[in-house]
Chain A
Amino acid sequence: MEKLINDFSFGLFFWQALILLVLILLLVKFAWKPIMDSITAREEGIRNAIASAENAKKEMQNLKADNEKLLAEARAERDTMIKEAREIKEKMIADAKEEAQVQGNKMIEQAKATIASEKNAAMVELKNHVSTLSLEIAEKLLKEELANKETQTKLVEKMLDEVKLN
């Protein structure tokens, strides 16, 4: 201990204190302050960059989710559209079938009616023809029959018989 005290040099102590004080002041002003500021600023920057990257990631995820939602919606819409289209198609086919049926039936009815009326007309005409023809035949026959007196009598008798029967 005595040796330590003896070794203690006040001059060295003085210079050391002076040098250290000046060194601290100089370094604080010209080195530590700018260095610490730069490091802090850089770390802040890195922290911000990481945070913004995280945000971007989140946004991306949101966007992706949105996209998927949109896609799902579109898909659902497409499905309903297809379904609707199919229904419409089926309905159209059914309607067409029905209409065709109705139309067909109508046409058949018309045809039937036409045929019936034609038939009636034809019948009427035929009847007329037949009556005319039969009158002509009767005329001719009568002319023939009445040319012979006997026959005439026979006929009258016969007709009378018929009336009696009625």
Chain B
Amino acid sequence: MVISKKPVRIILATFAGLLSSIAFANPVVDTTHVATAVTHEAHATTEVAHNEASHGDEHATQDPKDKVTAYIEHHLQDSHDFVFFSDEKEGKHYGFSLPVILLDNGLKVFSSSKLHHGEAVAEVDGNFYKLYHGKIYKTDAAGTINYDEHHHPTNVKPLDFSITKNVVSMLFTSILLFLMFTGLARSYKKGAIPTGFGRVLEPLIIFIRDEIAIPNIGEKKYRKYMGYLLTVFFFIWLLNLLGMTPLGINVTGNIAVTVCLALFTYFITQFSANKEYWGHIFWMPGVPVPMKIILMPIEILGTLTKPFALLIRLFANITAGHVVIMSLIAMIFVGKNIYADMPISLGLTLFISVIEILVAFLQAFIFTMLSSLFIGMAVQDHHHDEHGHEEENVII
């Protein structure tokens, strides 16, 4: 399988990493195909321009701005193969394929190399699949994709459980986290003070405990939630930082990932909530009965908006960071004067990258912080009852 060539390609990838800006700005062929398809059908004006220059190289004549937009869009999405960079002229992709798992009348497992980055139709057990805009559609032998009036494909989408680039990244991160922290746990067996890398990790754990968990959840109950908070913090942080590398991974900027993370917090909050919490939601103490009825739906909605804010915040911040950095790098290729654009582009990219490293930590911190705050609200012993009585007395 192609995966066996992985180590060689990882070395290649590190070389690519050194040429990160070039790797980012080199548009992948399949996206250009997509982009051309879009221009063909949606914009007649560009089609005219395209036809005029169609005798030349198809890719070279495409508007660089469209190419950049398509490339950024492609980057932000999950992908079925791990492409580090690609040669546009020869149509070669440097990276490795990943297994595709489809649930379509039984389990269909095949390598993503069959899909040829969306250029070819994969035939598996008599079924035909085609990659279009990062999603796998069921199609016929010719690879026809039908569109509705909004230019959305109407083909059947089989349930896709593929080990995608993001899944691989998450697995990689998980293994890294596991090795790092079991290492730290082991180092305590030798002595009370950790050695080596553990010295960096331990203050972070203590920081999460003393600055996030204890102030928000409380001295007595924080211990139960430390496992989740620590895992989520380091998981998000490491994935954010991984997104900053030239590997071109965007995990925490993927809506499915943030939805999952927020749902974890939501379920932990709801399942650990005590009587007072539910009392506050369904029958707010200390207010007149009509207000109680009005407040009930608001409070119920409030429990949902909290995790929703969590998932949108993380998603939007990371996505925005990726878009800004890629756009700044793309300035070099869009601008006419490379000597003038290059220093500006690189300077700004460096500046934003430094901010993004801060944001990577900050978003992990905020996610953990808010999670612990929500859990804290659900488990803390409220003293509102006394407070409510006082208020009642005042009203009377």
Contact = CB atoms under 8 A, between A and B. Distances in A.
Interface of A: 4, 6-17, 19-20, 22-24, 26-28, 30-36, 38-39, 41-42, 45
Contacts of B206: 39
B185 A35 contact: yes
B171 interface: yes
A12 B223 contact: no
A11 B161 contact: yes
Main secondary structure of the interface of A (DSSP, over half): helix
A4 B184 contact: no
A17 B184 contact: no
B254 A23 contact: no
B164 A11 contact: yes
Contacts of B259: 8, 13
A39 B185 contact: no
A1 to B, nearest CB: 10
A19 to B, nearest CB: 5
A16 B178 contact: no
A115 to B, nearest CB: 105
Interface string B324-358: 00000000000000000000000000000000000
24 contacts: A7-B77, A10-B256, A11-B101, A11-B161, A11-B162, A12-B78, A12-B254, A13-B257, A16-B166, A16-B167, A16-B170, A16-B256, A16-B261, A17-B264, A23-B177, A23-B178, A26-B178, A30-B178, A32-B230, A32-B231, A33-B227, A35-B184, A39-B205, A42-B193
A27 B230 contact: yes
A33 B228 CA distance: 12
Contact of B231 (A12, A24, A45): A24
Contacts of B162: 11
Contact of B185 (A13, A19, A30, A45): A30
Contact of B178 (A8, A15, A31, A39): A31
B227 A14 contact: no
B226 A12 contact: no
Contacts, number: 117
Interface of B: 77-78, 101, 135, 152, 159-164, 166-167, 170-171, 174, 177-178, 181-182, 184-185, 188, 192-193, 202, 205-206, 209, 223, 226-228, 230-232, 235, 254-257, 259-261, 263-264
**Most chain B CB neighbours (cut-off 10 Å) among A20, A31, A32:** A31
B265 to A, nearest CB: 11
B257 A35 contact: no
Contact of B223 (A11, A26, A36, A38): A36
A45 B192 contact: yes
Contacts of B152: 6
B177 A27 contact: yes
Given A7-B77, A8-B259, A11-B159, 16 more contacts: A8-B255, A12-B78, A12-B254, A13-B257, A14-B161, A16-B257, A17-B264, A19-B167, A19-B174, A27-B230, A27-B231, A32-B226, A32-B230, A33-B227, A36-B226, A38-B185
**Most chain A CB neighbours (cut-off 10 Å) among B78, B161, B163, B255:** B255
Contacts of A8: 255-256, 259
